[in-house]
Amino acid sequence: MKDLKTPGRPWTSSPSARALGALVAVLLLGALFNAEGAFFKWGTHRDMLRAVSVFGILACGMTGVIISGGIDLSVGSILALASVTFSLLTIHWHWAAPWAVLACLGVGMACGLCSGALVAKAKMQPFIATLAMMVFARGLAKWVTGGEKISQAVKQSDGTFAYVDLPPLFKWIDSRILYDNISVVTLVFLTCLLLCWVLLNKLRAGRYIYAVGGNEEAARLSGVPVGLIRIVTYGVSGLCCAVAGMCQACQEYQGDPEAGAGYELSAIAMVVIGGTSLNGGKGSIWLTLIGVLTIGYLDKILSINAVGEDKRLMLTGIIVVAAVLLQKSRR
Amino acid sequence: MNHCMKTLMVGLTCMGLWVAGCAKKAEQDGLTIGMSQCNLGEPWRVQMNADIQQAASTHPEIKVIFKDAQNDTLKQRAQVEEFISAGVDLIIISPKEAAPLTPVVAQAYAKGIPVIVLDRRVLGDQYTCFIGADNVKIGRAAGQWLVTHLDPGAKLVELKGLMTSTPGQDRHTGFMEGIKDANLNIIFEADMKWLEANARKEMESALARFDRIDAVYAHNDPGAHGAYLAAKAVGRESAIKFIGIDALPQEGQVYVEQGILAASFEYPTGGQEAIDTALKILKGESVPKEITLSSRIYEAKP
Amino acid sequence: MTTPLLQMKGIGKSFGANRVLQDVHLDLFAGEVHILAGENGAGKSTLINILGGVHQDYEGQILLDGTARQFKSVLEAARHGIAVIHQELSLVNTLSVADNLFLGREVCRWSWLQRTSMLAQARQWLAALDLDIDVTCPVEQYPVGIRQMIEICKALSLQSRIMVMDEPTSALTEPESQRLFGLIDTLKQRGVGIIYITHKMEEIYRIGDRITVLRDGQAIGTARSHLLPQDTLVTWMVGRTIQEQFPNHAPHTGEVCLQARHFTVPDPDRRGACVVDHVNLAVHAGEIVGVAGLQGSGNSALLNGLFGTFGRRVQGDVQINGRPYTAFSPGHSIARGMALVTNDRKTTGLIASMNIIQNVTLASLKAFCEGGFLQPKAERRAAAQQSRALNLKASSLNEDMDCLSGGNQQKVVLAKWLETRPRILLLDDPCRGVDIGAKHEIYELMTRLCTEGVAIVLVSSEMPELLCMSDRILVMHRGQVTLALNRDEATQEKILYAALGKRNNA
């Protein structure tokens, strides 16, 4: 009644504009609490991007799963499994890097395909199937390592430790390129993002992922191989976990079977804060990027201001709710 | 569906047999020691079990049954009850929490089963012996070490474990006592929740904010290592002394040996001591009510 | 004359710049059934929502028993005795009948539920409507028709004096509908005023006392139903005269396209029982075969079974263009030239989160790909072509599904299937919830496809549609074909007889 001119929707109603709004708000917060100018140094942003990359890679895979109407709780555990596998193969067994990388990707994908099959073929609830995978993969990671970190110190039969050299790949992934301006892990993250974008927006499989999430039955009756698509999304998520796990191992210079505990919740939060619907069918990988940056910056701002853990948790909770409310409010 | 059920049944049966097989071991002859570990999620506790195993392996007459309570107080209580009803000769417990586990320990003690409490305490005196290290003392040692190795006016970063946990609080309190009289400033402190990845992130923030940092005190070695990696990434690792706590053979000791950490303060697991004490008790010798473990300092060669 | 139970005076309402209602008058007397008719998008739902308290910012006045009222919420409207029974029922399916009746106003003493007293009261109310059902059973165990009656019973128990029924029979079988009409008579005797929205002509004249027609947000007219001839009514609704509702259609019978022998679909819930029981069917190119039957007779299951909705659980010999077909999956069926327009576009037809283009190309996406990569330009071209051919009304092809009216949504579904270039088109109630103009276009489309040699199998809940569109009609009852008729020998009576399972050849 008031607005007679434009029958079209206001720009604020587009999901990406809303997601960007949350990001801008967080950035403004950073500019306000800049910790004696530390926020305005490029190094801060570069470090934030490095720290958030592992989560971002997990969120890439998670985006596909959530758009297809599922959820993957196993990402943190598969990350740990991949991280110990990679360390074991390269540090202790001296495999050449390409084979180790391939083997790790294989392990991650196998885990993902396994949860996918449980969801698609055994018709288990995604929550249950991936919860089982989460517990199983964590157990497997602990079993493989005997509960200890896989590092340069190799236990000898007499109980003493001998030290082996770190493979060059570790140092390379943990380094920065482009005149020290960007971490390699960040580039790995951006590559994953780009590949997922191609999958979701350019490939037929991607359209099918949206269709399955939007209306599974209608998609099935339109000839979409629903089961296969579900398995593929979890497989891709598993692959992303493997990539993230290798990045994590390289950044810690060791494989930690306890790594990535609770990462699944961060990854889901990043996807959801971007505006991808947990009901499936809606969302995009770019929204996830915005979500990753929002959480990453939020974390960084709290960190450079040395905010205590207690307040940090409370503030994070409040800001996550605020961001999601901003997403939801219409008009 | 039918097929699934069958597979499930077979799987469950196999599992049942396996569990039964495990349980059978307890019925062998000789001396049996029950060891209830509160949580095997931390490398330090894995090390504790390994130390106990190692110490026990030199005494063929004793057999140790390990149980992992997976960070669950009630589970640990049930485990001790199982030990009691299985009639083990001695119980070693590294309790998750003091108050809820005090009654069950007292119950075992009253039944005449000697109980060695390891690392964390229970309330009262209804146990045979407590063996543990003193976090406050170790934290103080770390503080004093920095006082002697730094010039006055030095700027410090403290990466805390978890300030809601007793070890975190004690390591902080001790450290503050250690540097009390010296002219050292803590310019940045953050919780890293014992995790290397978090420590690295927090250290990056500290590095972005402060151009001069002279030393980093982390509540565990992985934290110190994470801080080192953050500093190394910006080429500032040589200007900073990193010290950590725990000095596990495959972690802190390695880092010190590689020159990554300037020092690491051992937080002994007490595994060896627990078995030694257990043997004494089982032989009928008297043991002190409380054994405080001494901590070693591992220092980088200059 | 007595004061009307309800008067709505000069009601107007806009959504943004979009004017959806303009100066609408409506009144309702106690014990009267007032039909609200009009095409989809005419403003019926908005009017109902204003009455039900969903919209608060409207122009005009609502008077209950002569007193002006302004409802601030749905709850307030309900408190004044207005009950709206929507197409999507508002019962909690997992709760029992009694729990549903008392939902939100449980009988409690010291916050303990008084179960026995609630059950007794629930039985009382149901008995008043001649409903003999177990009140402790979960609602989901009952068919839609019974659920609807439970909902009406709930409204009655709330002392509602005005009931709005929004296309209540759209999901009901014929006997269920008859039962509902009986119930409506009971309600009338109790002095309840009923506003009844429907698209079905027979219903309008069967139960309506008065009719108000809405078109483009305006009240075109109100008349006593026996004084309003059907063609005037249609003219009021459509705004133009439709000479003949059904296009002339001559069969172009060619080769046998689809042949099924002893086709059987086992019942997934009951072992040994069948929803489709040894049905023989042959459809020729250019022919429309109608399959009549009440809901649950297996006609819909027959189409779904042939298309592969149930996978390979089905049995029987099926041949497509003379070649045996055994794969029975939607993907294979599409590849063999089959298409199925399901009877519920919301749950099985459309993907609401996708736009028109994506919905239209979904079933034939392989044709729009090169090496797995989508070709957006080709997709847009195809969607534009289909929407032109089907006269789809949308402001842009990027429009979301929920912005489209029912008729246009159905056209998107049809476009999706036409894009697969089907040779065999299975239509399961293609005109459900579609307004009269779009219906006509769908009939014309069917005729055109026949001349192009497409074989069509049509299942419909509307008898005139079946009678006029089909070249041959099969009637099903409990999974079996009880009667096969040619176009010229088919009558409504014969079909109804056979559909009710009376096998004597009439």
With both helix axes pointing from N to C terminus, report the angle between B271-283 and B43-57 in degrees, rounded to the nearest 10: 40
Considering Cα of B117, then B123, then B125, then B127, what sign does the dihedral take?
A: negative
Mean pLDDT of chain B: 87
β-partners of residue B131 are B118, B291
pLDDT average, residue stretch B147-151: 91
Provide the pLDDT confidence category of residue C106 given band limits of 50, 70 and 90.
confident
Task: Name every residue whose Cβ is closer than 8 Å to that of residue B65 and which is 6 or more positions away in sequence.
Answer: B25, B26, B32, B33, B34, B35, B83, B88
Contacts of B46 in chain A (CB under 8 A): 146-148
Among the partner-chain residues A176, A248, A306, the one whose CB lies closest to the CB of B233 is: A176
> How far are the Cα atoms of A252, B182, B221, B296 from residue A153, in angstroms, in the given order?
14, 36, 14, 20
Residue of C343, C342, C314 lying closest to C327 (CA atoms): C314
Q: Which residue has the tokens 């549903």?
A: C100
A270 contacts A132 by C-beta, under 8 angstroms: no
C376 in reach of chain A (CB within 8 A): no
pLDDT at residue B121 in the model: 85
B8 in reach of chain A (CB within 8 A): no
Query: Tokens for B262?
Result: 């300037």
A71 Cα distance to chain centroid: 13
pLDDT at residue B4 in the model: 56
**CA A49/CA A34 separation, integer angstroms:** 17
pLDDT at residue C422 in the model: 94
Is A4 a residue whose pLDDT tops 50? no
SS3 letters across A45-100: HHHHHHHHHHHHHHHHHHHHHHHCCCCCCCHHHHHHHHHHHHHHHHHHCCCCHHHH
pLDDT average, residue stretch B249-263: 88
**CA C262/CA C366 separation, integer angstroms:** 33
DSSP string across A199-215: IIIIBHHHHHHHHHHH-
pLDDT at residue A287 in the model: 93
β-partners of residue C109 are C112
Surface-to-core class of residue C90, CB atoms within 10 Å of its CB (0-12 exposed, 13-18 middle, 19+ buried) = exposed
pLDDT at residue B21 in the model: 52
Q: Is A143 left (phi over 0), alpha (psi -120 to 50) or beta?
A: alpha
Distance of residue A108 Cα from the nearest chain B Cα, in angstroms = 21
With both helix axes pointing from N to C terminus, report the angle between A226-252 and B196-209 in degrees, rounded to the nearest 10: 60
> How far are the Cα atoms of A138, A273, C325, C326 from residue A128, in angstroms, in the given order?
15, 23, 38, 35
Is A108 a residue whose pLDDT tops 90? yes
B188 in reach of chain A (CB within 8 A): yes
pLDDT average, residue stretch A22-27: 88
Contacts of C331 in chain A (CB under 8 A): 223-225
DSSP string across C34-81: EEEE--TTSSHHHHHHHHTTS----EEEEEETTEEE--SSHHHHHHTT
How many Cα atoms within 13 Å fall on the side-chain side of residue C253?
A: 9
Contacts of C374 in chain A (CB under 8 A): 202-204, 206-207
A316 contacts A298 by C-beta, under 8 angstroms: yes
pLDDT at residue A60 in the model: 96
What are C61-89's pLDDT values in tens digits?
Answer: 899 888 888 888 888 888 888 888 877 67
Q: Is A179 left (phi over 0), alpha (psi -120 to 50) or beta?
A: left
Three-state DSSP at C479 gives: coil
**C244-337+423-436+449-501 fold:** Rossmann fold (3.40.50)
β-partners of residue A187 are none
Chains that touch C (3 or more CB pairs under 8 A): A
Is C505 a residue whose pLDDT tops 60? no
B187 in reach of chain A (CB within 8 A): no
Among the partner-chain residues B191, B204, B225, the one whose CB lies closest to the CB of A309 is: B191
Among the partner-chain residues A213, A218, A223, the one whose CB lies closest to the CB of C331 is: A223
**CA A173/CA A100 separation, integer angstroms:** 14
Question: What is the interface size between A and C, counted as CB pairs within 8 Å?
Answer: 86
Q: Which residue of A has its CA nearest to B257?
A: A163
Contacts of A281 in chain C (CB under 8 A): 351-354
Query: Tokens for A322?
Result: 């605020």
B13 in reach of chain A (CB within 8 A): no
pLDDT at residue A7 in the model: 41
Among the partner-chain residues C17, C342, C365, the one whose CB lies closest to the CB of A221 is: C342
B225 in reach of chain A (CB within 8 A): yes
Three-state DSSP at C138 gives: strand
pLDDT at residue C71 in the model: 86
Are C365 and A207 inside 8 Å of each other by CB?
Answer: yes
Q: Which residue of A has its CA nearest to C365?
A: A204
**CA C4/CA C25 separation, integer angstroms:** 13
Instruction: Show me where the domains of chain A are located.
Output: 57-151+165-259
- Give B232's DSSP letter: H
> How far are the Cα atoms of A86, A144, B101 from residue A93, in angstroms, in the given order?
10, 13, 43
Is B27 a residue whose pLDDT tops 50? no
Interface of A with B in 191-250 (CB under 8 A): 248
Are A214 and C354 inside 8 Å of each other by CB?
Answer: yes
**CA A16/CA A4 separation, integer angstroms:** 25
Contacts of B4 in chain A (CB under 8 A): 122
**CA A147/CA A258 separation, integer angstroms:** 8
Among the partner-chain residues B40, B189, B234, the one whose CB lies closest to the CB of A147 is: B40
Among the partner-chain residues A43, A142, A252, the one whose CB lies closest to the CB of B208 is: A43
Are B162 and A303 inside 8 Å of each other by CB?
Answer: no
Is C421 a residue whose pLDDT tops 50? yes
Chains that touch A (3 or more CB pairs under 8 A): B, C
Is A1 a residue whose pLDDT tops 50? no
pLDDT at residue B29 in the model: 60
pLDDT at residue B25 in the model: 45
Three-state DSSP at A121 gives: coil
A47 in reach of chain B (CB within 8 A): yes
Distance of residue A70 Cα from the nearest chain C Cα, in angstroms = 16
Provide the pLDDT confidence category of residue C281 given band limits of 50, 70 and 90.
very high
Mean pLDDT of chain C: 85
Contacts of C349 in chain A (CB under 8 A): 218, 221
Contacts of C334 in chain A (CB under 8 A): 222-223
CATH 3.40.50.300 range(s) for chain C read 6-238, 244-337+423-436+449-501
Are C353 and A217 inside 8 Å of each other by CB?
Answer: no
| Count helices and strands in chain A by DSSP H and E runs | 13, 4
Provide the pLDDT confidence category of residue C142 given band limits of 50, 70 and 90.
confident
Q: Which residue has the tokens 């609490």?
A: A33
pLDDT at residue C134 in the model: 85
B219 in reach of chain A (CB within 8 A): no
Are A153 and B250 inside 8 Å of each other by CB?
Answer: yes
What are C166-223's pLDDT values in tens digits?
Answer: 888 776 777 778 888 888 888 888 889 999 988 777 788 888 899 998 887 888 888 8
Q: Which residue of B has its CA nearest to A260?
A: B197
Task: Name every residue whose Cβ is closer than 8 Å to that of residue B299 and which is 6 or more positions away in sequence.
Answer: B256, B262, B263
**CA A111/CA C94 separation, integer angstroms:** 35
**CA B76/CA B97 separation, integer angstroms:** 10
Distance of residue A221 Cα from the nearest chain C Cα, in angstroms = 5
B254 contacts B226 by C-beta, under 8 angstroms: no
* Rg for chain A, CA atoms, rounded: 21
Are A258 and B41 inside 8 Å of each other by CB?
Answer: yes
Are A161 and B189 inside 8 Å of each other by CB?
Answer: no
pLDDT above 90 coverage of chain C, percent: 27
B147 contacts B179 by C-beta, under 8 angstroms: yes
**CA B165/CA B295 separation, integer angstroms:** 20
Contacts of C426 in chain A (CB under 8 A): none
Is B24 a residue whose pLDDT tops 50? no
C358 in reach of chain A (CB within 8 A): yes
> How far are the Cα atoms of A136, B4, B6, B123 from residue B9, in angstroms, in the given order?
19, 9, 5, 45
What are C291-312's pLDDT values in tens digits?
Answer: 988 777 888 899 999 999 998 8
B156: enclosing H helix or E strand = strand B155-160
How many Cα atoms within 13 Å fall on the side-chain side of residue C484?
A: 8
Provide the pLDDT confidence category of residue C500 given band limits of 50, 70 and 90.
confident
Q: Which residue of C has its CA nearest to A217?
A: C348
Query: Tokens for B90?
Result: 């001695």
Contacts of A129 in chain B (CB under 8 A): none
Are A7 and C16 inside 8 Å of each other by CB?
Answer: yes
B243 contacts B224 by C-beta, under 8 angstroms: yes
Calculated CA dihedral for residues B76, B81, B87, B90, nearest 10 degrees: 40
Is C147 a residue whose pLDDT tops 70? yes
Are A35 and B209 inside 8 Å of each other by CB?
Answer: yes
**CA C127/CA C130 separation, integer angstroms:** 5
> How far are the Cα atoms of A56, A67, A213, A276, B25 from residue A210, in angstroms, in the given order?
21, 6, 5, 11, 54
What are C431-450's pLDDT values in tens digits?
Answer: 877 777 788 889 999 999 99
Percent helix, percent strand, percent coil in chain C, to nearest 5: 35, 25, 35
Are B229 and A300 inside 8 Å of each other by CB?
Answer: no
Task: Name every residue whose Cβ is closer than 8 Å to that of residue C263 and which is 6 or more positions away in sequence.
Answer: C276, C278, C279, C280, C281, C302, C305, C306, C314, C315, C316, C317, C318
Lowest mean pLDDT among A37-46, B15-24, B83-92, C481-490: B15-24
> How far are the Cα atoms of C143, C411, C435 from residue C431, in angstroms, in the given order?
22, 10, 8
What are B156-207's pLDDT values in tens digits?
Answer: 999 998 887 788 899 999 999 999 888 899 999 999 988 888 999 999 999 9
A182 contacts A124 by C-beta, under 8 angstroms: no
C425: enclosing H helix or E strand = strand C424-428
Interface of B with A in 32-91 (CB under 8 A): 40-43, 46-47, 54
pLDDT average, residue stretch A10-38: 81
β-partners of residue C477 are C480
Is B241 a residue whose pLDDT tops 90? yes
Is B219 a residue whose pLDDT tops 90? yes
ipTM of the complex, rounded to two decimals: 0.84
**C6-238 fold:** Rossmann fold (3.40.50)
Among the partner-chain residues C331, C350, C373, the one whose CB lies closest to the CB of A202 is: C373
Whole-model pTM above 0.80? Answer: no
Task: Name every residue whose Cβ is closer than 8 Å to that of residue B82 and which is 6 or more positions away in sequence.
Answer: B34, B67
Is B208 a residue whose pLDDT tops 50? yes
pLDDT above 70 coverage of chain B, percent: 90
pLDDT at residue C215 in the model: 82
Are C348 and A221 inside 8 Å of each other by CB?
Answer: yes
**CA C114/CA C154 separation, integer angstroms:** 18
Burial B220-229 (b: 16+ CB within 10 A, else e): bbbbbbbbbb
Domains with residue ranges and CATH for chain B: 28-133+269-294 (3.40.50.2300), 135-266 (3.40.50.2300)
pLDDT average, residue stretch C465-487: 88
Are C348 and A218 inside 8 Å of each other by CB?
Answer: yes
Q: Which residue of A has its CA nearest to B188?
A: A306
Rounded (5°) CA angle C121-C127-C133: 90
Q: Which residue has the tokens 């009549």?
A: C292
Query: Tokens for A90?
Result: 């390269």
A53 contacts A193 by C-beta, under 8 angstroms: no
